[in-house]
Amino acid sequence: MDKSAFEERKTISAPVHAPLRHDSAHKHVAGSADYIDDMPEPEGTLHAALGMSDRAHAEIVSIDLAAVRAAPGVVWVMTGADVPGHNDISPTGRHDEPVLAEGKVEFHGQPVFAVIAETREAARKAARLAKIEYRDLPHFTDVTDTLANGAALVTDPLTLSRGDADAALAASPRRIAGAVRVGGQDHFYLEGHIALAIPGEDDEVTVWSSTQHPSEVQHMVGHALGVPSNAVTVQVRRMGGGFGGKETQSNQFAAIAAIAAKRLKRAVKFRPDRDEDMTATGKRHDFLVSYEAGFDDDGRILAVKANYAARCGFSSDLSGPVTDRALFHADNAYFFPHVTLTSQPLKTHTVSNTAFRGFGGPQGMVGGERIVEEIAYALGKDPLEIRKANFYGEAGSDRVLTPYHQPVEDNIVARIVDELEQSADYQARRKAILAFNATSRVIRKGIALTPVKFGISFTATWYNQAGALVHVYQDGSIHLNHGGTEMGQGLFTKVAQVLADAFQVDIATVKITATTTAKVPNTSATAASSGSDLNGMAAYDAARQIKERLVAFAAEKWGVAPDAVAFVPHHVRIGETLIPFADFIKQAYMARVQLSAAGFYKTPKIHWDRAKGMGSPFYYFAYGAAVSEVSIDTLTGEYQVDRVDILHDVGRSLNPAIDRGQVEGAFVQGMGWLTTEELWWDDKGRLRTHAPSTYKIPLASDRPKIFNVRLAEWSENAEPTIGRSKAVGEPPFMLAISVLEALSMAVASVAGYRHCPRLDAPATPERVLMAVERLKGM
């Protein structure tokens, strides 16, 4: 090819850092994206349904399933005794979470048996026919009830400590103490849990699962079946949302489907109803945060003591690492000179809570921000002034050490906040709001600017690894597979961009394929905001290996130095010669060059000693800030979010279009958690908010009326991450704390800003109204 032709194609369609659309966006809009329930069912597919307990805590005295077995269409009824391997799907190995309950139930809605029938409707109808006799036991569903009745724990607590918090508190010129309730949250993914198990020969089974953690599903299915992991293949093309709810909670549905499929030698699909999904699966942990803080007259924090008590549910699940991460983020962006933080992962007779976007970090930050807010009201100052006074210092100062003894070396929070304060015109708007509230009788406004500092990495160090498998076929097309899962967040697009950029080809050349344990083993969950960091680097490593072989081949064949070989858009330049990429690959194939590689990456520098509460669990921090402005009706407690301005740090964005969408979505989801999404259990331990009719996620009409989102384009990760980017999945979720703080200011106005309103979350209209009425009497 001559150089003039090359000049016409001197760019590729989607290099790294380009704002490329999500690879399946058009399919989502058209309805052509295939999810598990869209797949053609194998001939003779059976369907499963759960038989669930109607007691919160009870011994099973007797169970009569005769009517269930006799129901039309029923093929088999499975109980815990029918599990051929281990009746356990505990992700942490504590053996405290059965596939199906035996002898005792520990939450209302716990699965006791499963019905396998010819149709889904037949299975669900039959599941209601069981006759179970119980002997009721005392049940505690709330944190306060549990604390008052022995405070049993589901896993070991954690303490983080630095300095002498007790002595510093005693010496502080000013002190505050209080507590804040932080509610839980249902994941409310668009696609609920689902599994399709297809039996194979011998001990083999293939499971299509809507899961964020294929390798764990593989392990748990093997554990329950009593077969090795090599007999189980788990496949995931895409999920219709996950948000952490499919990190461990997919295990049960996949295990039941697989056991039934192997027993009956027929494919089995398991798709629970939305009510059953919400009742039987875990949620975000809700917390009771009790705190004391000492500070000076300028609002500088001198000491903090805080306890984070969490409703964890009946089993450990991921409550240990979730409550750990809550402590890791109790400081948010603030330096505490003397600090003691403790966790209490409490056992309750509710569904076992699990991972949710932020993984405890949001709850930790709400506690830390409440301390800042209390100090501001105690001193009669703007909370932003207190925030700025307590930011971590720059690298090298004496204000960089976290409560877990990791120095903050990449701190840009002050620049982020200052830039947003100016661009959002915060000071003038706050002044105008104070003037408005002074004359308005019914409507009151509030404004708040809050920062975010979020640590990136799994705190379980061994999860910080990833693999990728890359094939370059002889026609120049590329096959990509890696351990990450796609749940709508654009991970597949970003990793494909990395690969296309490495080989300098259009992204259409790269075929994105379903995640499968048969290609990349021992994968980590797509969680902890680490999907792009880990899998992008693994794919890059695979490309590096293939390119090194290709360079060596070209250097030998054309008699040039290796540094004279370069991959340029759609071509390989060898000295002065330009060869189209596909032609070059064909020649390499003919020369028997290996055109496949397994890439691998492990995050460097991180380490964590939980027993000592010390280490560097995070590779780096992501930062951001948000200004939220709200209006409340003091007669009804209703409110609206009038305007939001966000400046968020994603380093050098791999894909600004996708990253901005992630920031917008995370903020609205966080806003829902802190305002409208309320979980409520009645006195019998029944979850009553188990459907869209009773559980209120944000609607399109709830989005901020003015919504300005910018990425900090000047930021670049100081660590050598893929493209010097930063994670984006979880950190922007916590920007929504600014909404809660703005609501607090609006409420505080009814008492002249003399008292901290102490709004619990979610700040529903009822809670806002109660706070208004309480402050009116002060």
Helix (H, G, I), strand (E, B) or coil at 427: helix
The DSSP line for 469-491 is: EEEE-TTS-EEEEES---SSSSH
**Token duo for residue 711:** 């990425």
Report the 10 Å Cβ neighbour count for 11. 11
Closest CA to 704 of 663, 752, 744: 663
231 exposure class (CB count in 10 Å sphere: 0-12, 13-18, 19+)? middle
Interacting residues of 593 by C-beta distance below 8 A, sequence separation 6+? 549, 550, 553
CA distances for 155 relative to 105, 249, 403, angstroms: 19, 18, 21
Integer Cα distance of 427 and 447 in angstroms: 10
Helix (H, G, I), strand (E, B) or coil at 249: coil
Integer Cα distance of 511 and 508 in angstroms: 7
Instruction: Give one word for 209, left, alpha or beta, with left for phi > 0 and alpha for psi -120 to 50.
Output: beta
Q: Out of 97, 292, 369, 730, which one is annotated catalytic? A: 730
Strand partners, 706: 643
- Report whether 672 contacts 666 (CB < 8 A): no
Integer Cα distance of 51 and 276 in angstroms: 10
Interacting residues of 388 by C-beta distance below 8 A, sequence separation 6+? 414, 417
**Token duo for residue 241:** 């949302």
730 a catalytic residue: yes
Helix (H) or strand (E) holding 385: helix 383-389
732 exposure class (CB count in 10 Å sphere: 0-12, 13-18, 19+)? buried
Q: How far apart are the first and last CA of the chain?
A: 82
**Token duo for residue 430:** 């706050």
Tell me which DSSP letter residue 686 carries: -
Helix (H, G, I), strand (E, B) or coil at 238: coil
Three-state secondary structure along 142-169?
CHHHHHHCCCCECCCCCEEEECCHHHHH
Half-sphere exposure of 298 (CA within 13 A, CB side): 5
The DSSP line for 703-730 is: S-SEEEEEE-TT---SS--GGGB---SS
Closest CA to 492 of 33, 123, 159: 33
Tell me which DSSP letter residue 269 carries: E
**Token duo for residue 261:** 């499929």
Integer Cα distance of 678 and 682 in angstroms: 13
Q: Report cis status (omega within 30 of 0) of the bond before 762.
A: yes
CA distances for 758 relative to 305, 365, 745, 775, angstroms: 18, 15, 10, 10
* Number of residues that make up the chain: 778
Integer Cα distance of 134 and 104 in angstroms: 9
Tell me which DSSP letter residue 41 carries: P
- Report whether 182 contacts 673 (CB < 8 A): no
Integer Cα distance of 211 and 247 in angstroms: 6
- Report whether 545 contacts 597 (CB < 8 A): yes
Integer Cα distance of 198 and 196 in angstroms: 7
Integer Cα distance of 256 and 291 in angstroms: 43
Tell me the catalytic residues: 730
